[in-house]
Structure 1
Amino acid sequence: MFSAGSLYRSLGLFGALFAQSAGVAAAPVSIIFVIGDGMGPSYTTAYRYFADDPATADIETSVFDELLVGMARTYPGDSTLVTDSAAAATALSTGVKTRNGAIGVDEHHKPVQTLLEAAKARGYQTAMVATSPITHATPGSFAAHVGHRSENNEIADQYFDQRIDGRFKLDLLLGGGRQYFERKDRNLVKEFRKHGYAFAGDWQQRHKLKRLPALGLFAPEGMPSALDSEQPLRLQQMTEQALDLLGKKPFFLLVEASQIDWCGHANDIACAMAEMRDMDGALRVLKAYVDKHPDTLMVVTADHGTGGLSIGANGVYDWDVASIRGIKATANRIADQLLAADENWQEIWLQLTGMNLSEAEQRSLQRWIPHSRLSGEDAPQQHNPAAVKGALVAQVLTLINKRTHTGWTTSGHTGEDVQVFAYGKGHEHFAGNLNNTDIAKHLFRVFAK
């Protein structure tokens, strides 16, 4: 297990490294770090249009516009130039570039101290909130050290096993990923509870978390998508709960809007805008907290872009945001509902999208819905339900993106600079064009005060 002394000797104390450099004049009491996973600049622009009040002549600014201070470079420590979430989060949490896939280790596989660990060594309360599994690449990179992001069980183990001065690293965990804590080989939930952690195993049990330390694991894997969820503002609600539980003591809080990235990978614009709306709600809660506690610093950024989103596509100078607002489910959920509806699929399509279909568009969907095909029509791989479902999802997305003039260049990540937002005490230190590692280095200076 880590002790503060051995951790600093083996990893190098960043606070000491930066103590003599120009830093924040007066250190903030608490630090809030928010990451919009996959949230390239086109997402915040798209969200401004999506959130705009159509009843007014002007296009209103968003909370992202209000907080914007700079940009950050995202390239990883290898030669690829396009980062994954693990390398990016490691850069943001440690100030050190690493290879894609690595969690909290440098290019030589050596553990590197994270901001969260430095905060705990300083006596701060520590918390992480995410809509992904809480062991996913971004939260994992703030509190664990493994060779590859796929090692979810090991990441969960480290949350319990690795201590700083005999104390658990994390006072509060809220998110998904219950299956990595309740396993056949080890039940970490029981171990945490034995050491005094309050526990909630689903969303309906959230009210049981009334004190720290606490562990809330609200889904076996990731939490349901905002657009498909009965709690479309679940990140906002978890953020509110985290602030309530953290109380008045100094804290380090990581909040990740995890599934913006997942929607980008899927090239699903309605899904992405629902996640952005949830992040907007969380940011407004956090901004209000900073207003009431002006000695708090909030820094917000993205780890990378995802999907190559374009507002307008195929040479058309238009973006049909009204149609996007009318979509009530992700493409994956729409496909499930169409298959379940069978011959009544057109009614379900209209309910979920609000889009009337041309005859050709109807046929493009109908060929993948087994019992509604025209006589003699067959679909490739019709005896493979997964392939049929995948093809139907792809066709749903094709129709939505074409209708709304939404463009995508990839189903993967993109390498453009991302925006940096900051608010509160010391926010001016994050202005301009930074390397993503500079964000961590500025925050380590806070702990050196």
Structure 2
Amino acid sequence: MKQDAFRSFRRSIAVLAAACLVLSGCRTEEKEPTETVPEYEAASAETKKTPKYIFLFIGDGMSYSQIQLTADYLGLEKSGKTVPESLSFLDFPVTGSLETGNAESFCTDSASAGTAMATGKKTKTGVLGMDADGVRTESITEKLKAQKGFRIGLATTVNLNHATPAAFYAHQPSRNLYYEIGGELLAGGFDFLAGGSLLEPTGKKEEGVSLYALAEQTGYQMIWGKPQTVDWTGKVWITASETDAKGALPFLLDGGGGWTLADSVKAGIQALQNGDGFFLMAEAGKIDWACEANDARTMIEEVSGLDLAVQEAVRFQKQHPDDTLILVTGDHETGGLSIGNRENGLKTHLDLLSGQQISFARYEEELVTQYKKQQMAFTSVQSELAEWFGLGEGGLALSEEEWNLLKEAYQETLDTAYKGRSPLIQAVGTLIAEKAGIGWSTGQHSGQPVPVFALGVGAERFAGWQDNTDIFKHLAELTGVN
């Protein structure tokens, strides 16, 4: 209600400002009074069409800075000049902005943000598919399947019972109830699923029936790795054969594991188009993970991977221009990323990011772990830092003082117990960011707005400053679900 009142206030201010201009002498030609146009009634005839094929791409943790930094880096890499490289969705004809706060904070999490977009209801942090009072809310995917017979697909680079995909089928008070969430995934009977492995597939105590076994019993074709022979008319579940320590697809900077979000979208189109219509939600979930680690180079590859997935949808849209809607957005911003920092002022040196060959996460899991076990001397670690991050001569040059800071951070890594990132990788990340001319204000989420890009049938509805719940509202209106 407060948001509605605030929007009404802003509209009133706009009307008052226009009236003041007229009274102050800015005369316009007098016209016959016209009827007030109801909200969301657009002049384009497209508004009255119903999209048959809907793609919703969500970059988890992705906002304006993540997109701009990716475009800037790719442009510099391609031309050697400060000219951004356009990503496919930056060319979409309609752009808007979404407020992302939830029912109790201006800074949301993925569960409550996903719920807002999927159901049109604000909820509390960590809650899935329920409003702020704990009342079950039905998602756009559930409605489209039940009321319109749409085939439904979910694809992600993380786990299918992780927060964002779960918001489109689950109804739980906590995003951490992975086994219960997985059970709801099976009950939903969606037609296409693709991503990493499930979290806790036999429950927290590993005493439950395997969700994978239950999936086969409910008719899913379980495919591990790249599909070979598939009956695309049935229910298809693809799990990447190579995953990271958390069961997600590996970061693209680390090789990607042979299966990408673009692969999932391409397979999803094959699986879903044999029906009356489809809805495919595709999440680039590890943009968020890279930004939590303040790992700009890894984040850039993940945003680029999202762009490749969007390109698959755009190719489909060109074949079905009168029936397709594509949306690209984020659920929240992560990291408080800025282009420019107090150390460099207005100078950026994004080329210094190119020396990084491995994600901070993988370096931490595989190499720092070995350093601690072997109590490796810092002189040996220095050569590793040069190899994996380009630190030193011929790359990102460091002063003696800066090397001493890294040495101190490494010693702290060896000597102390810590949670999250090691002191060494934190120090490495800080130096790279400072010298490249970018900034991070947090290792968590921020309350910044996120963009939404729209192409196709009904795209004009997503223009302007809106709330994340409007994603659901516009989709419901366009498709005519109750």
Question: Is 2:388 aligned against 1:352?
Answer: yes
C-alpha separation in 2, matches of 1:364 and 1:155:
45
What residue is the counterpart of 2:71 in the other structure?
48
Residues 403 and 118 (structure 1 numbering): CA distance in 2 closer, same or farther, change over 3 Å?
A: same
What residue is the counterpart of 1:327 in the other structure?
356
What residue is the counterpart of 1:106 in the other structure?
131
C-alpha separation in 2, matches of 1:409 and 1:129:
30
What residue is the counterpart of 1:11 in the other structure?
none
What residue is the counterpart of 2:423 in the other structure?
391
Shift of 1:340: 4.0
Pick the aligned partner of 1:337 from 343, 364, 367: 367
What residue is the counterpart of 2:201 in the other structure?
181
* Equivalent residues of 1:232, 1:274 under 8 A apart: no
What residue is the counterpart of 2:112 in the other structure?
87
C-alpha separation in 1, matches of 2:81 and 2:438:
24
- The amino acid that maps onto 2:237 is L
Kindly, what percent of the aligned residue pairs are identical? Answer: 29
Q: Deviations over 1:276-325 (max 9, x none)?
A: 11111111111111111111111111111111101111242122211213
* Equivalent residues of 2:56, 2:327 under 8 A apart: yes
Question: Is 2:51 aligned against 1:31?
Answer: no
What SS does structure 2 have at the residue aligned with 1:145? coil
Shift of 1:57: 7.3
- The amino acid that maps onto 1:91 is A
What residue is the counterpart of 1:372 in the other structure?
none
Residues 62 and 160 (structure 1 numbering): CA distance in 2 closer, same or farther, change over 3 Å?
A: closer
C-alpha separation in 1, matches of 2:329 and 2:40:
24
Shift of 1:58: 4.2
Shift of 1:210: 4.8
- The amino acid that maps onto 2:264 is M
C-alpha separation in 1, matches of 2:116 and 2:369:
43
- The amino acid that maps onto 2:62 is M
Shift of 1:209: 4.7
Question: Is 2:334 aligned against 1:312?
Answer: no
What residue is the counterpart of 2:271 in the other structure?
245
Question: Is 2:300 aligned against 1:282?
Answer: no
* Equivalent residues of 2:343, 2:434 under 8 A apart: no
Task: Give the TM-score normalised by the residue count of structure 1.
Answer: 0.85
Residues 329 and 382 (structure 1 numbering): CA distance in 2 closer, same or farther, change over 3 Å?
A: closer
Task: Give the TM-score normalised by the residue count of structure 2.
Answer: 0.80
Q: Deviations over 1:110-145 (max 9, x none)?
A: 111101001111111111001111111111010110
Residues 366 and 226 (structure 1 numbering): CA distance in 2 closer, same or farther, change over 3 Å?
A: same
* Equivalent residues of 2:328, 2:453 under 8 A apart: yes
Shift of 1:338: 5.7
- The amino acid that maps onto 2:236 is A
Q: Deviations over 1:340-369 (max 9, x none)?
A: 474533332222222313333333333455
- The amino acid that maps onto 1:207 is Q
Farther off after superposition, 181-190 or 320-329: 181-190
Structure 1 gaps of 5+ residues are 1-19, 370-378
What residue is the counterpart of 2:152 in the other structure?
126
What SS does structure 2 have at the residue aligned with 1:126? strand
What residue is the counterpart of 1:264 in the other structure?
291
What residue is the counterpart of 2:238 in the other structure?
216
Shift of 1:189: 1.1
Shift of 1:226: 2.0
What SS does structure 2 have at the residue aligned with 1:180? coil
* Equivalent residues of 1:200, 1:208 under 8 A apart: no
What residue is the counterpart of 1:365 in the other structure?
406
- The amino acid that maps onto 2:459 is H
- The amino acid that maps onto 1:337 is L
C-alpha separation in 2, matches of 1:410 and 1:28:
39
What residue is the counterpart of 1:96 in the other structure?
121
Shift of 1:339: 6.0
What SS does structure 1 have at the residue aligned with 2:50? coil
C-alpha separation in 2, matches of 1:388 and 1:423:
39
What residue is the counterpart of 1:200 in the other structure?
223
* Equivalent residues of 1:308, 1:409 under 8 A apart: yes
C-alpha separation in 2, matches of 1:338 and 1:113:
45
Shift of 1:30: 1.2
Q: Deviations over 1:172-222 (max 9, x none)?
A: 111123343355311121122123211124x3x543555231112334632
Q: Deviations over 1:14-71 (max 9, x none)?
A: xxxxxx9959311011111111111121111111101212256743332232125111
- The amino acid that maps onto 2:294 is N
What residue is the counterpart of 1:3 in the other structure?
none
Query: Which residues in structure 2 correspond to 1:7-26 (within 5 Å)?
Result: 24-26=47-49
Greater Rg by CA: 2
Aligned-residue CA RMSD (Å): 2.5
Shift of 1:419: 0.5
Residues 213 and 227 (structure 1 numbering): CA distance in 2 closer, same or farther, change over 3 Å?
A: same
Pick the aligned partner of 1:60 from 85, 89, 92: 85
C-alpha separation in 2, matches of 1:254 and 1:358:
47
What SS does structure 2 have at the residue aligned with 1:178? coil
Residues 425 and 55 (structure 1 numbering): CA distance in 2 closer, same or farther, change over 3 Å?
A: same
- The amino acid that maps onto 2:79 is P
C-alpha separation in 2, matches of 1:395 and 1:350:
14
Residues 389 and 300 (structure 1 numbering): CA distance in 2 closer, same or farther, change over 3 Å?
A: closer
The alignment covers a number of residue pairs equal to 412
* Equivalent residues of 1:44, 1:64 under 8 A apart: no
* Equivalent residues of 2:154, 2:280 under 8 A apart: yes
C-alpha separation in 1, matches of 2:330 and 2:199:
27
Structure 2 gaps of 5+ residues are 1-38, 393-397
C-alpha separation in 2, matches of 1:427 and 1:215:
30
